[in-house]
Amino acid sequence: MKLRSLPYQGGFPAAAFRLWRFVVASAMALIALSVSARCYPPQDGTAGKEPSKWTGRIKLEVSGDESLIPLVSSYIGRELRALGDVVVTDSSPNAGMEVIALKEESPDGAVNFGYTLSVVTTFPLNDSIIRTILKDKVEQSLIEEVGSFYSDGNIVTAFWVVTGPPSGLEDLCKRIVAQFDTQNLQHQRELQQKFNDRKKQQKQRK
């Protein structure tokens, strides 16, 4: 997963630093508006049809303890798919989840004290979003430069840690998906519904 962090301002051109902050702030605003560019109405002649329901395309990455990776991947993947409107895929995701799974055990590995899972959720940042933010605001050459820097990057939308007992790994994964669904996906569903309702109202006025 490719993340972008705030650059050190010392020695960094003030104008460029202000532009960087503007890009990040605007990109976060676009998250609330777009549910990624994939939620915009189609341009292939199907725009007059009934608006489609929101579908989450989640890229799931699990790392950490080698013995936990397949289990955590399976548990979280299953819970995501059980939501009914989510697909776990690496192809054109509109949200990402990276999980680091660790086993807390004694030095000799004989005793398992439980598990710690850290979770990072992201929103994909691509050239089209950057161009939308900067259009008519700065020179085209600068748009190209900034767009290239952020190409295929991600904005972190949330980070949290959960811990549980030796028998609680599956429950931890359920808690992770439940929180992700409540704090992230449900908001995107509501935005998509508002978008669909607006399109219906526009169609009725015609």
Residue 45 forms part of a structural domain = no
Site of tokens 């489609």: 52
Residue 61 forms part of a structural domain = yes
d(CA 21, CA 27): 10
Q: Where are the alpha helices (DSSP H) in 61-185?
A: 69-82, 127-134, 140-150, 169-180
* Regions of the chain where pLDDT drops below 70: 1-52, 126-152, 206
Residue 67 forms part of a structural domain = yes
Domain region containing 149: 14-40+54-205
Query: What's the token pair of residue 183?
Result: 């704090």
How crowded is residue 186: how many other Cβ atoms within 10 Å of its Cβ?
12
Q: Give the 3-state secondary structure of residue 122.
A: strand
Query: What's the token pair of residue 130?
Result: 């950057």
d(CA 30, CA 134): 12
d(CA 10, CA 24): 19
d(CA 127, CA 124): 10
Number of domains in the chain: 1
Give the tens place of pLDDT for each residue, 10-40.
444 455 555 555 555 555 555 544 444 444 3
Site of tokens 């429950």: 171
Give the DSSP H/E element, type plus range, for residue 19.
helix 14-34
d(CA 51, CA 141): 37
Residue 47 forms part of a structural domain = no
CA count, 13 A, side-chain hemisphere, 125: 29
Across-strand partners of 159? 120
Residue 157 forms part of a structural domain = yes
The predicted pLDDT at position 141 comes to 66
Residue 9 forms part of a structural domain = no
In one-letter notation, the amino acid at residue 42 is: P
Residue 180 forms part of a structural domain = yes
Phi, psi of 156 (to 5 degrees): -75, 125
Residue 130 forms part of a structural domain = yes
Q: Label residues 107-146 b or e (16+ Cβ within 10 Å = b).
A: eeeeeeebbbbebbbbbbbeeebbeebbeeebeeeebeeb
